[in-house]
Amino acid sequence: MQPTDSELVILQVLWSQGPCTVRVVNEQLNTTSDKQIGYTTTLKLMQLMAEKGLVSRDTSSRTHVYAAARARESVQKSLLQRFVDSAFGGSAAGLVLRALGDGQTSPAELAEIKRLIEELEKGKQDD
Protein backbone atom coordinates (compact mmCIF):
# COMPACT_ATOMS: atom_id res chain seq x y z
CA MET A 1 0.00 0.00 0.00
CA GLN A 2 1.47 3.31 -1.12
CA PRO A 3 0.99 6.30 1.20
CA THR A 4 -0.61 9.48 -0.12
CA ASP A 5 1.35 12.74 0.11
CA SER A 6 -0.43 13.67 3.37
CA GLU A 7 0.21 10.23 4.83
CA LEU A 8 3.86 10.45 3.84
CA VAL A 9 4.22 13.71 5.80
CA ILE A 10 2.82 11.97 8.89
CA LEU A 11 5.14 9.00 8.36
CA GLN A 12 8.08 11.43 8.19
CA VAL A 13 7.13 12.70 11.66
CA LEU A 14 6.81 9.17 13.04
CA TRP A 15 10.14 8.10 11.52
CA SER A 16 11.97 11.10 12.97
CA GLN A 17 10.21 11.27 16.36
CA GLY A 18 9.42 7.61 16.95
CA PRO A 19 6.04 6.47 18.32
CA CYS A 20 3.81 9.50 19.04
CA THR A 21 0.32 10.52 20.02
CA VAL A 22 -1.89 12.28 17.51
CA ARG A 23 -1.40 15.54 19.43
CA VAL A 24 2.40 15.35 19.10
CA VAL A 25 2.15 14.55 15.38
CA ASN A 26 -0.33 17.40 14.86
CA GLU A 27 1.89 19.89 16.70
CA GLN A 28 4.89 18.81 14.64
CA LEU A 29 2.92 19.15 11.40
CA ASN A 30 1.84 22.65 12.39
CA THR A 31 5.40 23.76 13.15
CA THR A 32 6.63 22.65 9.72
CA SER A 33 3.62 23.59 7.57
CA ASP A 34 2.59 26.97 6.20
CA LYS A 35 -1.07 26.23 6.85
CA GLN A 36 -2.53 25.03 10.14
CA ILE A 37 -3.84 21.48 10.25
CA GLY A 38 -6.65 20.69 12.65
CA TYR A 39 -6.25 18.01 15.29
CA THR A 40 -9.32 16.12 14.05
CA THR A 41 -7.92 16.10 10.50
CA THR A 42 -4.67 14.56 11.75
CA LEU A 43 -6.62 12.07 13.90
CA LYS A 44 -8.79 10.96 10.97
CA LEU A 45 -5.79 10.57 8.67
CA MET A 46 -3.93 8.49 11.24
CA GLN A 47 -6.99 6.31 11.85
CA LEU A 48 -7.22 5.67 8.10
CA MET A 49 -3.49 4.95 8.00
CA ALA A 50 -3.97 2.36 10.76
CA GLU A 51 -6.74 0.70 8.73
CA LYS A 52 -4.41 0.59 5.70
CA GLY A 53 -1.59 -0.89 7.77
CA LEU A 54 0.71 2.11 7.32
CA VAL A 55 0.85 2.75 11.07
CA SER A 56 0.29 0.65 14.15
CA ARG A 57 -1.73 1.88 17.11
CA ASP A 58 -1.06 1.04 20.77
CA THR A 59 -4.38 1.29 22.60
CA SER A 60 -3.13 0.04 25.98
CA SER A 61 -3.40 3.49 27.56
CA ARG A 62 -6.03 6.22 27.37
CA THR A 63 -3.94 8.15 24.85
CA HIS A 64 -3.29 6.06 21.76
CA VAL A 65 0.27 5.97 20.49
CA TYR A 66 0.96 5.51 16.79
CA ALA A 67 4.13 4.18 15.14
CA ALA A 68 5.17 3.72 11.54
CA ALA A 69 4.40 0.14 10.51
CA ARG A 70 6.98 0.12 7.71
CA ALA A 71 10.60 1.26 7.76
CA ARG A 72 11.46 4.50 5.99
CA GLU A 73 13.80 2.65 3.60
CA SER A 74 11.08 0.19 2.61
CA VAL A 75 8.61 2.97 1.77
CA GLN A 76 11.28 5.00 -0.05
CA LYS A 77 12.28 1.97 -2.13
CA SER A 78 8.67 1.25 -3.05
CA LEU A 79 7.90 4.88 -3.94
CA LEU A 80 11.10 5.22 -5.94
CA GLN A 81 10.46 2.04 -7.90
CA ARG A 82 6.95 3.22 -8.73
CA PHE A 83 8.34 6.59 -9.84
CA VAL A 84 11.10 5.03 -11.97
CA ASP A 85 8.60 2.64 -13.56
CA SER A 86 6.05 5.33 -14.39
CA ALA A 87 8.29 8.30 -15.26
CA PHE A 88 11.35 6.57 -16.74
CA GLY A 89 9.95 3.33 -18.14
CA GLY A 90 11.75 1.36 -15.45
CA SER A 91 15.17 2.80 -16.34
CA ALA A 92 17.25 3.67 -13.26
CA ALA A 93 19.88 5.09 -15.63
CA GLY A 94 17.27 7.46 -17.08
CA LEU A 95 16.49 8.71 -13.57
CA VAL A 96 20.15 9.23 -12.69
CA LEU A 97 20.95 10.94 -15.99
CA ARG A 98 18.00 13.30 -15.57
CA ALA A 99 18.89 14.05 -11.95
CA LEU A 100 22.55 14.74 -12.73
CA GLY A 101 21.91 16.52 -16.02
CA ASP A 102 20.69 19.73 -14.44
CA GLY A 103 24.18 20.76 -13.26
CA GLN A 104 23.03 21.24 -9.65
CA THR A 105 25.07 18.35 -8.23
CA SER A 106 27.80 19.42 -5.81
CA PRO A 107 31.35 18.02 -6.00
CA ALA A 108 30.77 16.20 -2.69
CA GLU A 109 27.60 14.57 -4.06
CA LEU A 110 29.42 13.54 -7.25
CA ALA A 111 32.22 11.99 -5.17
CA GLU A 112 29.66 10.04 -3.13
CA ILE A 113 27.95 8.85 -6.33
CA LYS A 114 31.30 7.73 -7.77
CA ARG A 115 32.08 5.86 -4.55
CA LEU A 116 28.70 4.12 -4.68
CA ILE A 117 29.18 3.13 -8.33
CA GLU A 118 32.63 1.70 -7.56
CA GLU A 119 31.13 -0.22 -4.63
CA LEU A 120 28.36 -1.62 -6.83
CA GLU A 121 30.84 -2.57 -9.55
CA LYS A 122 33.06 -4.32 -7.01
CA GLY A 123 30.05 -6.26 -5.72
CA LYS A 124 29.20 -7.39 -9.28
CA GLN A 125 32.78 -8.61 -9.84
CA ASP A 126 32.61 -10.72 -6.68
CA ASP A 127 29.56 -12.61 -8.03
In this prediction, residue 103 carries a pLDDT of 77
Claim to verify: residue 53 and residue 20 sit in the same structural domain: yes
Domain count, the chain: 2
In this prediction, residue 127 carries a pLDDT of 61
Q: What is the pLDDT of residues 28-47, one digit of tens each?
A: 999 988 889 999 999 999 99
Tell whether pTM > 0.85.
Answer: no
Residue predicted with more confidence, 70 or 123 = 70
Which domain range does residue 15 map to?
5-68
Domain presence at residue 101:
yes
Domain presence at residue 47:
yes
Measure Cα distances from 75 to 37, 39, 92, 127 in Å. 24, 25, 17, 28
Claim to verify: residue 16 and residue 62 sit in the same structural domain: yes
Domain presence at residue 74:
no
Q: What is the pLDDT of residues 82-124, one digit of tens each?
A: 999 999 999 988 888 888 887 788 889 889 989 998 998 988 7
